[in-house]
Structure formats: C-alpha cells, structure tokens
C-alpha cells in the first residue's frame, strides 16, 4: 500500500517511547502510517477530527496507577471529544534503566550481565546531581532512587525518551535519565543501572481509541491486526471490557453505592474504579468504572445495556466510552 | 519554650512551599519546631518513629486531584507505618505569582495593590526569557502565560519554591518563577504579577498526621491550635471526616458495591473514593474512602464503628486511618 492510502495511527510520542512500542505491538508498521504526537490531547484531537484512524495512549501502570491526563480527556469536561470510544488495549512491560555518561574509565555498560535484584548501579553514579524523567517514573523506581539518588534534583519532562535526549546533551556526567533501554541505543547513552523499577513485573496498559463512526473490526481493517485473527475464530465473546464515566449527587449519602449496585444487579464484575475532580465545583468528582462485559445492540450481552439503564436512573449523568477485547493473559 | 522542649512538626519542604504555608496555618511557629523534610515518606517516617510530634503532607488539589505518593504511604503495603493516623486537615489557596527581578527603576512590588483579574503584570516583564516552576503550575496558569509569556522557555523543577531559589541566583532579570508569595520574601524576589492562576479558587488540601499513641487534643497540645479553641466550644461533633482503606475479593462481582453499602446502611456520606494499585498483584487495587463521620469508643457516633463492623464482614481487609475535624468552610 502506498503511504497516501494507509490509515494513520496517532500515538503519544516521541519515537522510542513505551507508547511507541505498544503501537507497534498492535499495528503492523507496513499497513499503517505510525504518527507520533506531542501530547495525549493531540492524539485525542487527531482521532476526534478524523485525521487519524486510530490513536494509542497510555492508560494505567501496574505500579503507579492511572494516567490522570488520559482520565481527564475521557471525562471531557468541555465536550471537545464527544465521538471518542475505546476499541482496544495493549500491555507493555516497563523496564526503566538509569542512563547517562559513565566516567570514561568504566567498562561500557552494555557488556554487563543481566539485571540484579534489588537493582544497584553498574557504573559509578557519584557525580549524578540531576535526574530527568517522566513524572510517573519517579514513583516506579522509589527504592532505587531513595537508596542511591535521594538528593539528586528531579526534573519532570514530557517523556522518558525526551529525558534521555536531554541527558545526551549534557556531557558533564552530572545528568542521568530514567528511561528505556531502546532510548540508550537511540541517544548513545551508557546504562548506569538496569531494571531499576521496584516491581520487575511493572507493566503499562495502553488503550486504542477510535471515532464512534469509524469502521470497526472485523469490517475492513481490524483494530489489532496482530491478534484479531485468533480471537475471531475462538468466538470468545465474554472476554470483553467496558469503560463508563458517571457523576452522582454527592449530597446524597449512598449515591455512589446505588450506582455501583446497578452493575452488581446484572452480575457485572467491576475491574477498576477511579475518580477525578469534576472541574465544575471543588471537591466534586467524575467516577470512572471499568467492567468485564460488552455493550451491544442486541443479544445475550444485553447485561451491560441493562446495567446502564439502571445506572441512568440513579446517577446524575453517565457516558459509555467503549467496549473492547481483553488482552490481559490470565485475566 | 526553649527549642529543645518544643515538639517537632515535620512537613514536606522545602521552606516556602505550599505545605510550609499549610503548616504555619495550623501550628504556631513559636510553640513548635517546624522541620522541613525532603520527601513525603520522610514525613511519615519522622512521625512513625516518634521523632516528630506531627507531620503535614499534601493530599489533594482541587484541579489536579489526589497526591498519589501520599495515598501509597497510607496504603502502607510494607507495613512500615502501622501507627500513623490522620488528626487534622488544612486548606491552602494556591495563588501562583510571577517572581523575578524587576528592572531597578520600578517601585518595589510589595507596595502594589491587591491582585487584579484577569491577572496582568505589575512590573516590566519584557526581559523575561526563561520560566521555572513545578510542572503542575504551567497547566494552572495557562491564560496568563499564553497572553504575556508565550515564547519564554519553560523549565520544570521539583517545587515552586526551588524555582524561586533558582531565579534568585540569576540577577540578569531574564529568569522568572511561578511560585508562592512567601517564596518572594524568602528569596528576596520582586512580585512581577500576582495570582496568575486561571482558577482563583485553586486549593490544595493538606493532612496532619500523628502516631496512634501520641497525645490528642484537647489534652496537652491541640493538633491545630489556631482553630481548636473555637471548635471545642461550639461542640459541633458531627462535622468530622474519617479515612478508611480496604481491599476486596476482585473475582467476586459486586464485592465493591457490597463494601460501599456498609456505609450507606449507616447513613454515612462518602465524600471521596480513590484507588491505588495493591502492590501485591498487578491490576488489583487498594480502595480509599473518606466519609463524613467520626469513629469513637462509644456514644452517638457509633455509626462509623457500625459501618466498619459491616465492612469487615464483606471486604478482604480494612484499616481505619483516623477521624478529624472538617476544616472546609461551607462543607
């Protein structure tokens, strides 16, 4: 297919980010134009406007929890993204490394053996005074940072990849980045410590978004071509997830319990719940609920429709944000 | 009182931070040793060990939501803080100012009248080329920055106070910080513009923590001496808040709804709910619930005790994290 005919998949860049990896896991590079965006909001805008066929954004990390910027965009307080729906997900194992310039006497770090646990430096880091990373990474590497770099200044930047890029520019050896091993290659940095995250099974979940009126699998182009073939044949309809937001009358005791009972009544298992400031009034919240199940026009899966009908009677307002196939193995 | 005899109040530093302001609002400087800590965890450690009599930490911002580091310390997955209880709260209006070095011909900025809305510079800022602040502040001051400083370079630093410190070192007048008014005093900077945040009602809530076995008001030293006198006399017992964490069996549909029903049964109004990764198993969560009410040994306030008994029967595990007087006016 020529570049002009290939659908665009927008993702949170830059190149070399974990979102980039998630995007390549879900979309064949040869069938799509994979297009990096500066912010998560830019991905939403590209999909809402129809410029991009799909968007890929980080949603949740197993150690650090939700990505609040993404939640706020789904909450859509200003009505800018009325047509955005989630249509897929992708999981990527996050292995942060400490990248920088090792003192010249040190052996090149890539020759070092595999990660040790608990992580410790594999090069001299006594000169490191400034750290750069995405804000979420600090919380994922607490033990290592508290042990070895407690007094280093922490600088938040827009991505772990950007952090590596900045550190590459400072040859003094005083700067280091919490970033991915692919960024070490990309910016020619030394690995000063490997897999420094507290939990080695640290995983980030990414969501694939589409416009409500865009084509959906199995018509034309599948959303996750690398795995849809197998899932289509086994006909496993029940392994789906659904995302819903709602608001409640917070003056009413039990309002939240009533809303959640709507899902219980239909036997729907809630897999997560989140809150974000409503933006309308201080100390009021938008609730996010994710559940096992699929909203459909008709058929056995009417449970989600039933629960939404019930929810509509007890909440102040709600929005269905899409149903998609579960990609979490052993879930 | 001599310094040695005064109880220590540990807070998230550095000096000049909004947490510092919250601490000074709640504790008289002359009765306590106000001690800045590097991390929120250091505050927990100081209180748990008994080194500090009280600790003050940020908990939630009205625009940005929960402080996840604080939630994780309350979740206490490694059992390091078994004796920590919340005993008070403090609200601080976040009013970012633009701080820097005004051209020498200008009048000292502290003589200027109150903030104007929409905010505009009260000194010549045409020389400002570089801005420093905590990453959260850029999003809170969009209008002012887009109007007056669209092309200035933005540098993320670890706190608004740190930003002011850096700007104080650059006498060229080309650097400015988005920081607090107390930081202007502390680092001898000019206020170039006042209250530049988009939402003037932007507020952060701080919690005061204590050790379970430490003295509590009204015995010996009140936790919030500046306001306890009035609240003690009006005898308003019902305007209390309680924080609870619990875990559920996530394989069981409706487990969360059952837990929340325990509070509804006793007519307790939930004011917020939060989740954080459980740390034990990926995609499992610890739930945080805050409610209006007070856990007591006996008496009319047995509602919270009743709900906790009920919760204990349906959840996997729970912990009471303290009850304290509500300080939110009009709540």
Residue A144 half-sphere exposure toward CB, CA atoms < 13 A: 28
Write out residues 102-121 of B within 8 Å (CB-CB) of A.
none
- Give B314's pLDDT tier (boundaries 50, 70, 90): very high
Domains and CATH numbers, chain A: 1-92+202-232 (3.40.190.10), 97-193 (3.40.190.10), 236-331 (3.30.70.260)
Tokens of A87: 């249509």
Question: Alpha-carbon distance B89 to B60, whole Å?
Answer: 11
A58 neighbors A67 (Cβ within 8 angstroms): yes
How far is Cα of residue A323 from the mean position of the Cα atoms in its chain? 17
Average pLDDT, chain B: 85
Q: Give residue A49's pLDDT band: very low, low, confident or very high (50, 70, 90).
A: very high
Distance CA A293, CA A53 (A): 25
**pLDDT (average), residues A37-44:** 93
Contact B260 A256 (CB under 8 A): yes
CB atoms within 10 A of CB A38: 12
Which residues are paired to A208 by β-bridges?
A: A56, A88
Q: Which two tokens stand for residue B161?
A: 């106070």
Contact B253 A272 (CB under 8 A): no
The pLDDT assigned to B3 comes to 66
pLDDT at A299 over 70: no
Determine the Cα–Cα distance for residues B16 and A327; give it in Å rounded to an integer: 47
pLDDT at B264: 86
User: Judging by DSSP bridges, how do beta strands A190-193 and A97-100 pair with one another?
Assistant: antiparallel
- B154-170 tens-digit pLDDT: 888 878 888 999 999 99
Distance of CA B100 to the CA centre of its chain: 26
Residues A189 and A191: their CA atoms lie apart, in Å, by 7
A140-144, A149-153, A236-240, B225-229: least confidently modelled range: B225-229
DSSP A169: H
Average pLDDT in the A137-155 region?
Answer: 91
pLDDT in tens, A151-186: 999 988 878 888 999 999 999 999 999 998 888 988
Q: What mean pLDDT is predicted for residues A284-290?
A: 92
For B318-328, how does the pLDDT look when each residue is reduced to its tens digit (9 = 90+)? 999 999 999 88
Asked whether the beta carbons of residue B68 and residue A139 sit closer than 8 angstroms, the reply is yes
> Is the CB of residue A78 less than 8 Å away from at least one CB of chain B?
no
How many whole angstroms separate alpha carbon B90 and alpha carbon A124? Answer: 43
> Greater confidence, A93 or A117?
A93
Asked which of A102-116, A144-158, B206-220 is least confident by mean pLDDT, the reply is: A102-116
Which residues of chain B have a CB within 8 Å of the CB of A151?
38
pLDDT at site B299: 55
Residues in CB range of B331: below 8 A, 6 or more apart: A283
Q: Token pair 């009972």 is at which residue?
A: A261
ipTM above 0.85, yes or no: no
CB A270 within 8 A of CB A260: yes
Exposure string for B61-99, b = 16+ CB within 10 A, e = fewer:
bbbbbbbbbbbbbbbbeeeebeebbbbbbbbbebbbbbb
Chain B, nearest residue to A140 by Cα: B69
pLDDT band at B227 (very low <50, low <70, confident <90, very high): very low
- Position B106 pLDDT exceeds 80: no
Per-residue pLDDT for B219 more than 60? Answer: no
In this prediction, residues A91-103 reach a mean pLDDT of 93
- Euclidean distance between CA atoms A84 and B25, whole angstroms: 44
Contact of A184 with A99, CB cutoff 8 Å: yes
Q: In chain B, what residues touch A276 (CB-CB under 8 Å)?
A: 65
């Amino acid at each position: 297919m020529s570049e002009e005919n290939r659908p665009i998949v927008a993702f949170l860049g830059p190149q070399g980010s974990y979102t980039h990896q998630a995007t390549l896991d879900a979309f064949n590079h040869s069938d799509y134009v994979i297009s990096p965006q500066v912010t998560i909001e830019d991905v939403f805008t590209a999909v809402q406007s129809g410029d991009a066929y799909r968007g890929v954004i980080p949603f949740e990390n197993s150690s650090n929890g939700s990505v609040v910027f993404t939640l706020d965009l789904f909450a859509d307080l200003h009505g800018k993204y009325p047509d955005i729906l989630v249509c897929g997900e992708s999981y990527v194992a996050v292995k942060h490394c400490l990248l920088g310039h090792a003192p010249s006497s040190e052996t090149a770090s890539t020759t070092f053996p595999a990660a040790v646990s608990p992580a410790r430096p594999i090069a001299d880091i006594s000169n490191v005074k400034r750290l750069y990373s995405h804000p979420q990474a600090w919380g994922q590497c607490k033990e290592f940072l508290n042990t070895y770099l407690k007094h280093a200044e922490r600088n938040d930047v827009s991505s772990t990849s950007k952090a590596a890029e900045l550190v590459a520019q400072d040859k003094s050896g005083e700067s280091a980045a919490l970033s991915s091993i692919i960024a070490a290659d990309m910016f020619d940095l030394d690995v000063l410590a490997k897999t420094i995250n507290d939990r080695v099974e640290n995983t980030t979940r990414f969501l694939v978004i589409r416009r409500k009126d865009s084509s959906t699998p199995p018509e034309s182009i599948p959303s996750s071509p690398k795995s849809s073939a197998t899932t289509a044949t086994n006909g496993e309809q029940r392994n789906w997830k659904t995302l819903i937001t709602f608001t409640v009358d917070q003056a009413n005791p039990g309002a939240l319990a009533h809303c959640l009972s709507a899902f219980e009544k239909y036997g729907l298992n809630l897999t997560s719940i989140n809150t974000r400031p409503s933006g309308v009034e201080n100390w009021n919240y938008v609730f996010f609920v994710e559940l096992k199940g699929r909203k459909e026009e008709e058929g056995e899966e009417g449970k989600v429709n039933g629960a939404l009908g019930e929810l509509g009677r007890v909440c102040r307002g709600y929005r269905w944000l899409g149903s998609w196939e579960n990609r979490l193995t052993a879930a």
